[in-house]
């Protein structure tokens, strides 16, 4: 079997799906790309059993065939080749792969394509269309709040609930929660799924910058994303997501509005002086003044800043994890934000003061007990 392809074009397509491949996978053949040629179309598959990504590229080929090619050595070779047509010659009996360029010959050992695990198909499922812009925004606004705790697998992914009027994306790690809602994406399926973090990270890095359409199909066990000659199939997390609506406090009589970038800058500076284990900072709101302070008793470090704000309700002193606040504010794009609170021991809500009509974002952060200093 032989085919000719542009080295740069092949590298570009392989780079899009290479992130799926893990080092030391459970099944050794998953260190390879699966190459399948049919009628001049090369289909390349990369998988880690949980997530598979597939891309296609036109090649010059006179016969059909398939081979598993070592991913790392192939990627390293293509990265160091100038743009040129390269010829792949594959021996179907020994599974050896020979790559010929203008002035070089590179030989590597492939594997039998039939040993490569079959990619699952989504059958008896539901379908919804959304733009790459909406999907990318939903991932960016939620993925940072997912948990790393493998003992609570439901919280290691993003929960997606499709309704006939909107679609809600939720992520939480038990200390903070993000609810991102889009009214421009809807489905009457009423389905809810939990998409793993790795699959979403891969999607985020491969979604094109120009706005185009993404076809999303899913059933009880798998989700399928199709866009720009790339297909992704991922296994869903089969767990019950926490009842997040009950965690969101409804009565929040204390409100503070402030410039987001000013608050973010201040938090980044003050957090340098916070305890490196707790990351605790203190917010004290009195009248139209916000005082942010932190102290690390172990090293006698302390810092304090005062910012102007708009404030409604009683004065309050409340502690938060600075790391969480910085991450949340960094993912909000509005100029002003509102922090809604009810008591020092109750969760605070961060909402953008202005937002797009098609989206609604709410971030919840749990307080930390204040140390007396």
The pLDDT of residue 187 is 86
pLDDT greater than 60 at residue 372: no
**pLDDT per residue over 284-339, tens digit each?**
999 999 999 999 988 899 999 999 999 999 999 999 999 999 999 999 989 999 99
The two structure tokens encoding residue 60: 């010059």
**pLDDT per residue over 24-60, tens digit each?**
898 999 999 999 999 999 999 999 999 999 999 999 9
The pLDDT of residue 373 is 43
Between the CA of residue 176 and those of 181, 275, 323, what are the distances in Å?
A: 17, 19, 11
Neighbour tally for 281: CB within 10 Å: 27
**pLDDT per residue over 144-153, tens digit each?**
999 999 999 9
The pLDDT of residue 371 is 65
Q: Tell me the average pLDDT of the chain.
A: 94
**pLDDT per residue over 89-139, tens digit each?**
999 999 999 999 998 999 999 999 999 999 988 777 888 999 999 999 999
pLDDT greater than 50 at residue 2: yes
**3-state helix/strand/coil string of 214-252:** EEEEECCCEEEEEECCEEEEEECCCCCCCCHHHHCCCCC
Distance CA(232)–CA(180), nearest Å, equals: 23
Model pTM score: 0.91
Give start and end residues of each alpha helix (H) in the chain. Answer: 7-17, 71-79, 132-142, 197-206, 260-271, 322-330
Give the domains, in start order, of the chain with CATH numbers.
2-115 (3.10.150.10), 126-246 (3.10.150.10), 250-365 (3.10.150.10)
pLDDT greater than 80 at residue 176: yes
CA-based end-to-end distance of the chain: 74
Whole-number percent of the chain with pLDDT over 90: 87
The pLDDT of residue 367 is 95
Distance CA(292)–CA(281), nearest Å, equals: 7
pLDDT greater than 70 at residue 252: yes
Higher pLDDT among residues 265 and 219, named by residue: 265
pLDDT greater than 80 at residue 356: no
- Phi, psi dihedral angles at 182 (to 5 degrees): -120, 130
Angle between helices 7-17 and 71-79 (to 10 degrees): 130
Handedness of CA 223, 229, 230, 233 (dihedral sign): positive
């Amino acid at each position: 079997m032989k085919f000719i392809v542009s080295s740069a074009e092949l590298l570009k397509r392989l780079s899009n799906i290479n992130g799926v491949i893990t080092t030391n996978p459970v099944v050794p053949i998953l260190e390879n790309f699966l190459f399948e040629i049919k009628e001049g179309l090369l289909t390349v598959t990369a998988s880690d059993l949980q997530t598979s990504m597939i891309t296609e590229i036109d090649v010059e080929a006179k016969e059909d065939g398939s081979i598993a090619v070592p991913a790392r050595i192939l990627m390293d070779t293509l990265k160091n080749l100038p743009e040129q047509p390269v010829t792949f010659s594959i021996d179907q009996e020994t599974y050896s792969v020979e790559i010929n360029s203008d002035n070089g010959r590179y030989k590597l050992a492939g594997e039998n394509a039939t040993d490569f695990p079959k990619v699952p198909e989504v059958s008896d499922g539901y379908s919804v269309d959304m733009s790459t812009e909406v999907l990318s925004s939903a991932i960016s606004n939620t993925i940072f709040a997912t948990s790393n705790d493998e003992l609570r697998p439901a919280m290691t992914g993003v929960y997606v609930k499709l309704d006939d009027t909107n679609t809600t994306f939720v992520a939480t790690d038990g200390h903070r929660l993000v609810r991102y809602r889009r009214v421009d994406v809807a489905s009457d399926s009423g389905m809810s799924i939990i998409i793993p973090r790795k699959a979403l990270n891969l999607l985020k890095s491969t979604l094109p910058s120009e706005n185009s359409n993404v076809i999303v199909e899913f059933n009880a066990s798998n989700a399928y994303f199709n866009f720009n000659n790339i297909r992704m199939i991922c296994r869903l997390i089969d767990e019950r997501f926490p009842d997040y609506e009950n965690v969101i406090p409804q009565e929040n009589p204390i409100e503070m509005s402030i410039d987001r970038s000013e608050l973010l800058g201040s938090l980044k500076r003050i957090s340098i002086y916070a305890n490196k284990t707790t990351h605790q900072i203190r917010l004290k709101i009195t009248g139209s003044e916000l005082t942010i302070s932190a102290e690390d008793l172990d090293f006698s470090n302390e810092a304090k800043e005062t910012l102007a704000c708009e404030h409604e309700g009683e004065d309050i002193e409340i502690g938060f994890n600075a790391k969480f606040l910085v991450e949340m504010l960094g993912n909000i794009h509005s100029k002003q934000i509102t922090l809604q609170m009810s008591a020092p021991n109750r969760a605070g809500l961060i909402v953008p003061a202005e937002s797009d009509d098609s989206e609604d974002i709410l971030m919840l952060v749990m307080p930390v007990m204040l140390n007396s200093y």
